[in-house]
Amino acid sequence: MKNRREFLSTVGAAGGASFLIGLGKAGSSGAAESGEKLAIDGGKPVRKNTLHSRPYGPQFYDDVEKRELLEVLESRQPFRWWNSNSKVLQFEKKYAAHLGVKNALGVSSGTTALYTAMAAMEIGPGDEVIIPAWTWYADYDTIVLSGALPIFAEIDESLAIDPNDIEKRITPRTKAIVPSHLQGGVADMDAIMEIARKHNLIVLEDFSQCVGGRYKGKFLGSIGNLGINSFQLGKTITSGEGGAFVSGDDKLFERAIRFHDVGTIRSPYTQQLKGGVLASFTGCNFRMNEFTGAVLKGQVQKLDTICSRLRANARKVREGIADLPGIKLRKTNDLDGDLGITIFLDHGNRQQRDQFLRALRAEGISASGPGGSVILPADPRIEKKATVHPDWPSFNTPQGKAVRYGAESYPRTVDIINRFGGVIMDPNFNEKDLEDIVKAIRKVYLAKKTA
């Protein structure tokens, strides 16, 4: 990739730029820089074929994953407890070492990892768990399925939970906080951990959408009391499905082991935990199979490469648009640790955001608002507190009956989600792709500014 001066010069030349390259100042008008009509208005698009981001992990599949899978096939032992040299166990050890945590446990999905975490924290009827008002269904669902009460807190412009809103939601029944690190961004973990210590709360990091992300040098999942993530197709590394539970706390880890495997604890965990300290209890079957473990063992080796490419590409795009007048990018709590999955701009309101996205797509650049998650309070089934049985405990306490969900209860979250939008990045975007992204954003942004 060219240096900043060469990169901006190329972008400027391609679009007839009049801004001062060396000083990074914008030109006098959008028309002066773009020099052409927007594609949405009948002009020539920046790209003929639309540029899309693709799922990251499968782009890096090669002989490493193939070899690991073939070894499972040839062993004829796809169940992890049949194999003394388990691929799942090998993956767990590699993943724990990579994240810098003491313990890692492979499970069947990110959702079952969350359910396992709820059991590890002993979340149940009468408890309250604080989660961001914009997150994935499973964060909410597993709290409800544990019989506890989900309590939403507003997000801020990082698209993560707002620490300033957390304390307002704490009651004597609050037991845990779940800061989700969404769409490659990191939550403000210093502030969250300080609140948790002050109120003696457990912190569960859901870093499913930011696997490989860091906060002040520490990998996500290693900062709270425990963490979970998914390896579903849309995650940084993937086996199609699968998940992980991580923790440095042996008691939480033992409870997770037992819950995910019908209440039991088996070798080699018995040796690792010196027999354990808990009695057997009722559990589930959320075990990871050997095929999944084999793919993930191979994918972990590529995690740093995927993350570094994402960050580098995002940095180049940010540099290419940094001088745009009045531009406001998504807030970051750690620019170096952020994965750089999104280049999201604050457009002020939904109408202007949607106009910008339509114009950007017309230029041949795939663009969207925040996705992959949902504004949970605005979901009808959540607003109605729908459960598997009318007597389910979560909403049949006085607190459960009193809590109100719905978009009007979380106006700041809805406003933020409606304002932000932009481009989803890809680790394999090449130099031309990045130049086109910058050119298209500049072209549309400046045209809208001068309209």
Per residue in 182-231, pLDDT (tens digit) is 999 999 999 999 999 999 999 999 999 999 999 999 999 999 999 999 99
CB atoms inside a 10 Å sphere around CB 132: 29
Question: Given this chain, do its domains 4-55+303-373+413-450 and 58-300 carry the same CATH topology?
Answer: no
- Burial category of 189 from C-beta neighbours within 10 Å (exposed 0-12, middle 13-18, buried 19 and up): buried
Q: Span 366-376, mean pLDDT? A: 85
Q: What percent of the chain has pLDDT over 70?
A: 92
- What's the confidence (pLDDT) of residue 33? 60
pTM: 0.91
Listed residue (177, 111, 182, 98) closest to 142, CA to CA: 111
Q: Which of 429, 451, 449, 446 is nearest to 366 (CA)?
A: 429
What pLDDT shows up at residue 278?
A: 87
Q: Per the structure block, which two tokens stand in for 120?
A: 């590890």
How many Å apart are CA 133 and CA 155, to the nearest integer? Answer: 7
Q: Which fold has domain 4-55+303-373+413-450?
A: Aspartate Aminotransferase, domain 1 (3.90.1150)
Concatenate the DSSP letters of all residues of 395-412 into one string. GSSHHHHH---SGGG-HH
Q: Does pLDDT of 10 surpass 60?
A: no
Tell me the sheet residues that pair with 206. Answer: 180, 228
Contacts of 248 (CB under 8 A, 6+ apart): 101, 102, 103, 222
For residue 19, is pLDDT > 50?
A: no
The closest alpha carbon to 334, from 121, 180, 168, 190, belongs to 190
Cα(first)–Cα(last) distance of the chain, in Å? Answer: 33
Cα 281 from Cα 261, distance rounded (Å): 10
Q: At 340, is the secondary structure helix, strand, or coil?
A: coil
Q: Are 145 and 262 in contact (CB under 8 A)?
A: no
- Alpha helix positions (H), 83-188: 87-99, 110-120, 137-145, 163-169
At CA 242, angle to CA 236 and CA 247, rounded to 5? Answer: 85
**Domain residue ranges of the chain, discontinuous segments joined by +:** 4-55+303-373+413-450, 58-300
Inform me whether the pLDDT recorded for 7 exceeds 90. no
* Tokens found for residue 85: 């040299």
CATH architecture of residue range(s) 58-300: 3-Layer(aba) Sandwich (3.40)
Return the pLDDT at 226. 98
Round to whole Å and give the CA distance between 394 and 125.
6
Task: For residue 325, report the phi and psi dihedrals to the nearest 5 degrees.
Answer: -65, 125
Which residue type does 373 have? S
Please check the confidence at residue 235 and state whether its pLDDT lies above 60: yes
Query: What CA dihedral angle connects 45, 48, 53 and 58, to 10 degrees?
Result: -170
Helix (H) or strand (E) holding 272: helix 269-272
Residue 418 has pLDDT above 80, yes or no: yes
pLDDT at position 404 is 93
Task: Round to whole Å and give the CA distance between 157 and 151.
Answer: 20
CA dihedral sign of residues 245, 249, 255, 257: positive
- Could you tell me which of 56, 72, 54 has the C-alpha nearest to residue 302? 56
pLDDT in tens, 117-174: 999 999 999 999 999 999 999 999 999 999 999 999 999 999 999 999 999 999 999 9
Element (H, E) at 375: strand 374-375
Q: Are strands 174-177 and 128-132 parallel, antiparallel or unpaired?
A: parallel
Structure tokens at 33: 């820089």
Q: What's the mean pLDDT when you consider all of the chain?
A: 91
CB distance 260 to 245 below 8 Å: yes
Closest to 256 (Cα-Cα) out of 220, 214, 286:
286
Residues 272-321: tens digit of each pLDDT? 888 888 888 999 999 999 999 999 999 999 999 999 999 999 999 999 99
